[in-house]
Structure 1
């Protein structure tokens, strides 16, 4: 367990495999990137659904389950290696003013294991194949709690020229650094409708 946690707490990200994507476009203003449009290919992810009282509890508990899978609690018995970002799928409530309790935390299976991913020993973890997806993404720094996520959803909705082209109740929070880090690097993703 120590090795992946140590990797996550390092500031260098070159040691971790990034989820591959194609940059389709970039919206800038005065040299600042407002958001990017990206295409992610079909890929396999290890996913765990959580439903705790607080968003932060769900993230922490789900992430620890995935860390155990990454750290040898899998059918290969091997350390799989860290990939970034770790994704959390969130849903807004019926009024679009808060998040529902159910979240899905997802770990990208490293490229060399995509064809035949090791199976988790934890029955709560499921290997899912996600279809190709176009996302609109905006970076933000800091903690990820319900308040900050709702704020980032609102900010990106204001910046997008056609937010109605995206799903209106499902969003992804992409985490690139340790969930406990004060200056955590994150992105909010809007999913383009299929």
Structure 2
């Protein structure tokens, strides 16, 4: 696969300490994220003794292929080692998507933003309207929240990186969103989450179908969203903190918003725009107003 570089820059919804360099990645408070994969560079690989897997040397095209395969194997082994520390299995078929995420083949490539209309801005909050659109969604319910997020992202990575009926790299859109649910006190996140990727505009009418039966192409109706930006890491603790902050801000601003069946839990969305390698990370917490459309 060449595909122009499959880079999920917008995947930042899982835990991490935000530090760069291969040596720091084994000490994350969360699990492996797409941000980690993207920020892991070839320089990191070359400078990390633990990741040396005997890259083959050679001359001409054959040597280049052997070197590429050696780098791919080193990257896979590195992330499998980290995954085992956190009870996450990184299967061998992730080797090529991981390498595509690692090597920035087209760093200038624009990433499509999910289109919306700004309705109102108040303090650090925005009220937006998102129109109906097609999303690739995967529902996960692993033993831990972090495992669910990691598993969902890996499935979407494969879909974006040519494991679809078009056989092409689909291109990146931002943000990557994760639907989470809390109890009424916002003290606990539900284990079941939905990770979703907005289908690029050129594929909205006829989205390529995923090979993975766990990925569903869904049409989301138009929705009004209250959004609040935040920076830093995105793990279970920080997500709950941001949910409580947004809820308090909505209450204090006397916003007219509607909860549907709050006794059954309340749904929020975590939106990630930038990688852990970025000096200023851009994340948002969204509340979807079910009373408006």
What's the TM-score once normalised by structure 2's chain length? 0.59
Q: Over the residues paired in the alignment, what is the CA RMSD in angstroms?
A: 2.4
Candidates 66, 81, 96, aligned match of 2:186: 96
CA distance in structure 2 between the partners assigned to 1:155 and 1:13 by the alignment = 35
Q: SS in structure 2 opposite 1:72?
A: coil
Matched, 1:109 2:199: yes
Distance 1:14 1:136 in 2: 29
What's the CA shift for 1:179? 6.3
Aligned residues of 1:86 and 1:107 also touching (Cα < 8 A): yes
In the other structure, the counterpart of 1:177 is 274
Unaligned runs of 5+ in 1: 29-33
* Secondary structure, aligned partner of 2:6: helix
Secondary structure of 1:4's partner? coil
For residues 86-132 of structure 1, give each alpha carbon's deviation from its aligned partner in whole angstroms, at most 9, with x where no partner exists. Answer: 00000013553110000000000001110000000000100000000
Given the superposition, is the C-alpha separation of residues 188 and 166 from structure 1 closer, same or farther in structure 2, using an over 3 Å criterion?
Answer: farther
- Aligned match for 2:111, one of 7, 11, 16: 16
Among 15, 25, 32, the residue aligned to 2:120 = 25
Report 1:9-158 matches (<5 A): 9=38, 15-28=110-123, 34-93=124-183, 95-158=185-248
1:31 equivalent in structure 2: none
Q: CA deviation at 1:159?
A: 1.2
* Greater fraction of residues in strand: 1
Q: Secondary structure at the match of 2:155?
A: helix
Distance 1:163 1:123 in 2: 40
The 3 A distance-change label for structure 1 pair 181 and 123 is farther
TM-superposed CA distance for 1:142, in Å, is 1.5
5+ residue gaps in structure 2?
Answer: 11-37, 39-103
From 246, 254, 257, the equivalent of 1:165 is 257
* Alignment partner of 1:190 is 2:282: no
Query: How far apart, in 1, do the equivalents of 2:284 and 2:226 lie?
Result: 10
Name whichever structure is richer in helix by fraction: 2
